[in-house]
Amino acid sequence: MSKAVKSDYDRLPPTGRVTLVGAGPGAADLLTLRGQAVLSKADVVIYDDLVNTDLLKHCPAGATRIYVGKRAGMHCMPQEQIGEILVREARKNLRVVRLKGGDPLIFGRGGEEMQTLTAAGIPYEIVPGVTAALAAGAAAEIPLTHRGAASAVVFVTGHECANKSDQTAVDWAALARTGATLCIYMGVRRLPEIARALGEGGLAHDTPLAVVANATLPQQSVHLATLESAEAVSERLRGQPALIIVGDVVRWRELSQAARPMAATA
């Protein structure tokens, strides 16, 4: 007797699938175990700039590696083209891994890829990753929601797309009033402007901030400033991936380091 077909899914021809995997912030051992397991079975891996290429060691030797990175101001591959590659490879009945820096759904355009795959009828899954804000907090020893100092944390982009509608434009003055710790992605270039807007919105000019560049990588560096002294840091770090943390919680780094005479300074 032939094996019963259990569902429509069993009747469909074998089909490729895509897994969007968060690669974490940089250090290769900050990939999740689930991400590693998915990579170890990949036929094709499609990866970006901020992905540590050491992670590709987890793929089978014969896996195809496709680089689709884009650096700020130097777009080497439009998002639509990345979507086309995902669909094209999955339609070859392959196991496709889309490896993205940090978490795929935090400023990672994972949403667009979900839409593209849905439209093409390709099944997908998402494996979360350690996003840069959390890595930066840990790297700089800044407790993002320290009790008594902040009861909320905001992930916000400092780099507005030219075509964003007003609805998604960042209202820095409103954020200044929340008292939340602000974790600003892609904000180094516009930091002086952002600091001014936060000051105008009511944040004290001596509100501390930390800029953590290359968090979790050997070249990691932590730079402390205040809203009014932010400009110099911005100039120094331009072009490096860096996460800006604004808020009173930044003082806890100074306090904990002062209490440890041997603590390393960045």
Least distance CB 3 / ligand SAH (angstroms): 43
Q: Judged by CB under 6 A, which of 50, 66, 114, 126 binds ligand SAH?
A: 50
- Catalytic: which of 29, 57, 70, 171? 70
Cα–Cα distance measured from residue 72 to residue 240, given in angstroms and rounded to the nearest whole number: 10
Least distance CB 4 / ligand SAH (angstroms): 43
Fill in the DSSP letter of residue 115.
H
Task: Answer yes or no whether residue 233 interacts with ligand SAH by CB under 6 A.
Answer: no
- Catalytic: which of 3, 41, 48, 164? 48
Q: Per-residue x/- marks for ligand SAH, 98-117, CB under 6 A?
A: --xxxx--xxx---------
Q: Which is nearer to ligand SAH, 207 or 220 (CB)?
A: 220
Q: Per-residue x/- marks for ligand SAH, 157-196, CB under 6 A?
A: ----------------------------xx----------
Task: Answer yes or no whether residue 47 interacts with ligand SAH by CB under 6 A.
Answer: no
Crossing angle of helices 230-237 and 191-200, in 10° steps, is: 160
Quick check: 19 and 125 in contact, CB under 8 A? yes
N-to-C CA span, the chain:
70
Least distance CB 259 / ligand SAH (angstroms): 26
Give the total of residues touching ligand SAH (CB under 6 A): 24
Would you call 48 a catalytic residue per the annotation?
Answer: yes
Token output for 162? 């030219």
Using the structure block, give the residue that is written with the tokens 């795929």.
104
Quick check: 222 and 194 in contact, CB under 8 A? no
Q: Which is nearer to ligand SAH, 44 or 212 (CB)?
A: 212
Task: Answer yes or no whether residue 131 interacts with ligand SAH by CB under 6 A.
Answer: yes
Q: Judged by CB under 6 A, which of 52, 207, 214, 257 binds ligand SAH?
A: 214
Q: Which is nearer to ligand SAH, 136 or 195 (CB)?
A: 136
Task: Answer yes or no whether residue 35 interacts with ligand SAH by CB under 6 A.
Answer: no
Closest to 211 measured CA to CA, from 175, 187, 194, 177? 187
Query: Which string of DSSP letters, residue by residue, matches 216-232?
Result: TSTT-EEEEEEGGGHHH
Radius of gyration of the chain (CA): 21
Cα–Cα distance measured from residue 204 to residue 234, given in angstroms and rounded to the nearest whole number: 19
Please state the three-class secondary structure of 12-67 as a single string.
CCCCCEEEEEECECCCHHHCCHHHHHHHCCCCEEEECCCCCHHHHHHCCCCCEEEE
Query: Segment contacting ligand SAH (CB under 6 A): 60-68, 94-102, 171-179, 231-239?
Result: 94-102
Fill in the DSSP letter of residue 202.
T
Q: Judged by CB under 6 A, which of 26, 35, 137, 247 binds ligand SAH?
A: 26
Would you call 70 a catalytic residue per the annotation?
Answer: yes
Q: Judged by CB under 6 A, which of 243, 245, 246, 249 binds ligand SAH?
A: 243
Q: Judged by CB under 6 A, which of 42, 59, 97, 132 binds ligand SAH?
A: 132
Catalytic residues: 48, 70
